Structure 1
């Protein structure tokens, strides 16, 4: 299990390379949800999501031989952007493997950094390709199955604990579980009374299915939210969520897209559906906890184009 000492060490390591993002009360979201809301805006992080934290920590942990050989990452979008940008900044050669369903903007950003980008027919093939490249000598920078990465993602929770006012319940999106594992570890240490809730979208339910099965299992992916579409969680992230997280809530893609529109309209925040899914889940938490709830939302990223969001809005008849 990741402890607060590892998270604090990660914070020192990545300081100066990433942004200490704002933690702010949101009057607009508070009015919308009917409860006090504080937002942690990782959408304003370098590379547009929290993923820059884990990628930076892992790159800084490499020895000279590993740096010279280069690194490889598998990504549905944000992890690939983060690794490509931060590797270029630290002068490490990077290869990013993405499914063809990854957002075109994510592919373009990774290519613009000078990273080698390989596209596959799905996430399963992407992980297999990255595994072959690792066997050829590249260092795999896993998006969530790595204690160094999880501890660095936990710096989001470290900052939230130090910067937010009173909170009773914090909601965090789940793909492979690296973010929620780190955030939950930090909050358990610094704010032990705060409940942590995970949120997934339908068709990207790797953690909720793992919890039902008693351990990580492969899952079928169908969600439009590629940044949450891990084919399975890891034992590392499963162990943290099963021990530290209240429950994992699952919301439809349509409600995740509606959440993006609500964040823009009521909070002035541009976010991707991986963050938009927090709003419908927050309504459920508010109803279950009652009138004394004080919500914290980790807005994990904002790497969606206006064209993407409007296209999804049209698809789900939200305009």
Structure 2
């Protein structure tokens, strides 16, 4: 288990390299949900998601030999973008392994940043390829199975604790669990009365499956939310979530896309399904907690194109 001191160290390390993103009350979402809502706008982060934090923390912690050898990451999109862009900024050679289902735009951005991109037939093969490249000498920057990366992501929670008004419940999207693990540590230390809820989409249920099984288990990935599509969580993230998180809620892809449309209309932000899933989950939390709820939503990323959202909306019959 990491501690708040490691998150504070990460915050000092990455300051000046990443954005301290806005934490703002959302009148539109507050009216929609019927309770006060605060949004942590991590989609305004460098590279369009929170992933820049963990990637930068890890890159800045490398030894000279590791920097010279180069780094490798496996990603469904956002972690790869973050590593490619931040590695280029820090003059480190990067290789990014992505499944062919990753958004084409993510591949383009990683390549434009100068990374070598390798495509595989699925996330399991992507992780296997990245592991092989690590064994050949590259330093693996794991998206969630690394205390340094988790501490970097935890700086989101550090800022939320410092900048938000009183909150009762915070909702965080879950892929491999690095973001929610770090945020849960920060909030348990600085806002100990706040409940943390995880949110997954159907077909990207690695953490909820692990909680049911009592530890990490492989899952079949089918969600359109590729940025949440980890084939399994790690023991590291599982330990944090099982100890510090209230519950992990699972919502359908259709509801996540509707959440994207509602966030655009009511919160005036353009998100991806990994963030859109927060809105239907927030309704569930609101029902459970009641009128006294004061919700915080960690809007984790916005790397979806207009064409993506239109295509998904048409697929699910949404207007």
TM range (shorter): over 0.9
Matches within 5 A, 1:1-319: 1-319=1-319
1:296 alignment partner, SS class: strand
Cα shift readout 1:197-228 (whole Å, capped 9, x = no counterpart): 00000000000000000000000111000000
Distance in 1 between residues matched to 2:113 and 2:276, nearest whole Å: 28
Structure 1 residues not aligned, in runs of 5+ = none
Distance in 2 between residues matched to 1:189 and 1:147, nearest whole Å: 17
Distance in 2 between residues matched to 1:140 and 1:191, nearest whole Å: 33
2:109 alignment partner, SS class: helix
With normalisation by structure 2, the TM-score equals: 1.00
Shift of 1:84: 0.1
Distance in 1 between residues matched to 2:154 and 2:222, nearest whole Å: 28
Shift of 1:278: 0.2
Distance in 2 between residues matched to 1:283 and 1:132, nearest whole Å: 43
Tell me the matched-pair count: 319
Distance in 1 between residues matched to 2:174 and 2:113, nearest whole Å: 27
Distance in 1 between residues matched to 2:127 and 2:6, nearest whole Å: 27
Structure 1 runs, 4 residues or longer, greater than 6 Å off:
none
With normalisation by structure 1, the TM-score equals: 1.00
Shift of 1:62: 0.4
Distance in 1 between residues matched to 2:152 and 2:59, nearest whole Å: 11
Shift of 1:172: 0.1
Shift of 1:132: 0.6
Shift of 1:52: 0.1
Shift of 1:2: 1.1
1:154 alignment partner, SS class: helix
Shift of 1:180: 0.1
Shift of 1:6: 0.4
Structure 2 residues not aligned, in runs of 5+ = none
Distance in 1 between residues matched to 2:108 and 2:152, nearest whole Å: 26
Shift of 1:91: 0.2
Distance in 1 between residues matched to 2:36 and 2:120, nearest whole Å: 43
